[in-house]
């Protein structure tokens, strides 16, 4: 094998590993935008490696930062309902 061929072979291998890493990372990112959930003045984006994690993060955030809306939603649809709504808003990044 010539030196050039070895370098080409190695760089191809490295690129493949990098692409694999980013694909894995991207595959596991789920987000919920608070703005899209109706909080127009909030820039928070809930994140998680699974849909459930993103929903849990969004739920915690709503509890802490939008307690009045959280209470309203709890009264009308309950925690199960809120989770179901958040689940519909999860985006895969
Ligand atoms: Zn928010």
Ligand 1 mean position, distance from CA 26 (Å)? 23
The least confident of 13-27, 30-44, 47-61 is 13-27
Ligand 1 mean position, distance from CA 76 (Å)? 19
pLDDT > 90: percent of the chain:
63
* Res. 1: pLDDT tops 80: no
Domain boundaries, the chain: 29-92
* Res. 21: pLDDT tops 90: no
* Res. 23: pLDDT tops 70: no
Rounded CA separation 45/47 (Å): 6
Ligand 1 mean position, distance from CA 13 (Å)? 42
Ligand 1 mean position, distance from CA 28 (Å)? 22
Find out whether 61 and 34 touch, Cβ atoms under 8 Å.
yes
- What's the count of helices (H) and strands (E) in the chain, helices before strands? 4, 3
């Amino acid at each position: 094998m010539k030196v050039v061929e070895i370098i080409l072979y190695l760089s191809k291998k490295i690129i493949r590993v990098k692409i694999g890493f980013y694909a894995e990372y991207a595959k596991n990112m789920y987000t919920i935008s608070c703005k899209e959930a109706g909080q127009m003045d909030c820039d928070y984006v809930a994140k998680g490696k699974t849909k459930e994690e993103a929903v849990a993060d969004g739920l915690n955030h709503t509890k802490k930062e939008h307690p009045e809306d959280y209470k309203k939603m709890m009264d009308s649809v309950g925690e199960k309902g809120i989770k179901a709504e958040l689940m519909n808003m999860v985006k895969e990044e």
